[in-house]
Amino acid sequence: MKLEVFSDLSERLNYNFPDLPLYVRKGSLHQFNNYEAVAHWHPDVEFIFVLKGFMEYSVNGHTIHINQGNGIFVNSHRLHFGFSQDQTDCLFIVVVIHPALLDKNSSLLRTYWEEKFSAEMEDFVVITEQITWQKEILISLQEIYKEMHHCDPPNPLRLVSQALSLCACIGDHLQQKSGHPEAVHSWTNVQKMTDFIHKHYDLKITLDEIASSGTVCRSRCCTLFNKYIGQTPNAYLTRYRIQKSCEMLRETKRSIGEIALACGFQSASYYTSIFRKQIGLVPLDYRKQITNNSIT
């Protein structure tokens, strides 16, 4: 389960079938560096069901604790990511549904989707076993996973029916939120600033430059990063540089010094120090571990 995130933090999803915009898989937090997924968004709606362990889940700056047996719904175009503060693993089912699954020729269906899954509606809903309609969603998430992965071949009509049923059920219970114009404007600023970081991570970047890219002051820049991403701008920049360096360690034979400079670090020694703090290994050991795992 690999996240492919673009410079504006949008995610490209590898759907189970190329011509069916439905993503149904199991995932675990240990697949991500430091047991923390990259902050991302997509036009799809997303359901998570925790099978084993627990996780923290951030949605547009709100952090939610999700225990085993519970889940969460994340609305369309919301910045979100799962993580574990103490780096304990969590096994979960993720179901992601793109609006293209609807009949494109039906204005009635499009209108319903645009109303229920718009910026004006709730960002997320915590799903528990204690509420009847939410328990039905948790059961449905397990059923759609079984259909996708345990039926040979899976029935595409049943998959579509199950996915649309999930959307209909959560749509019946979504509430309108207040203050959305300001939230949308703030989120747009965050997109601009993270986009600037992703495009210039290999250069020396100052806080003033990051703030300027989002047309905000330094203080507002820090406030928005803490609210929506839970990190300072500099911490996010460093984490992104480490992420890009991990890609280079896995996919290229470039030296540690070359990778350090290509990712915006002043020296190989400084890069190695930061890498060890974040990943728990020095870059060379990380590369060896990845190589050995791919062989076995």
Q: Are 86 and 54 in contact (CB under 8 A)?
A: no
Encode pLDDT of 214-264 as tens digits: 999 999 999 999 888 888 999 999 989 998 999 899 889 999 999 999 999
Task: Please state which of the ranges 4-13, 103-112, 144-153 shows the lowest mean pLDDT.
Answer: 4-13
Comparing 26-35, 46-55, 144-153, 220-229, which segment has the lowest mean pLDDT?
26-35
More confident residue, 190 or 294: 190
Exposed / middle / buried, residue 206 (Cβ in 10 Å: 0-12, 13-18, 19+): exposed
Of the candidates 84, 34, 76, the one whose C-alpha atom is nearest the C-alpha of residue 59 is: 76
In the chain, % of residues over pLDDT 70: 92
Which of these, 136, 128, 129, 122, lies nearest to 173 by C-alpha position? Answer: 122
Tokens of 114: 């645009």
Q: Is the predicted pLDDT of residue 175 greater than 70, yes or no?
A: yes
Average pLDDT over residues 78-97: 93
C-alpha to C-alpha distances, 80 to 5, 34, 106, 230, nearest whole angstrom: 12, 16, 30, 11
Residue 279 confidence (pLDDT) = 87
DSSP letter at 135?
H
Q: What is the DSSP letter of 214?
A: T
pLDDT computed for residue 83 by the predictor: 93
pTM metric for this prediction = 0.74
Q: Is the pLDDT of residue 293 over 80?
A: no
Q: Compute the mean pLDDT over every residue in the chain, rounded to the nearest whole number.
A: 89
Apex 230 CA angle, 205 and 86, nearest 5:
115
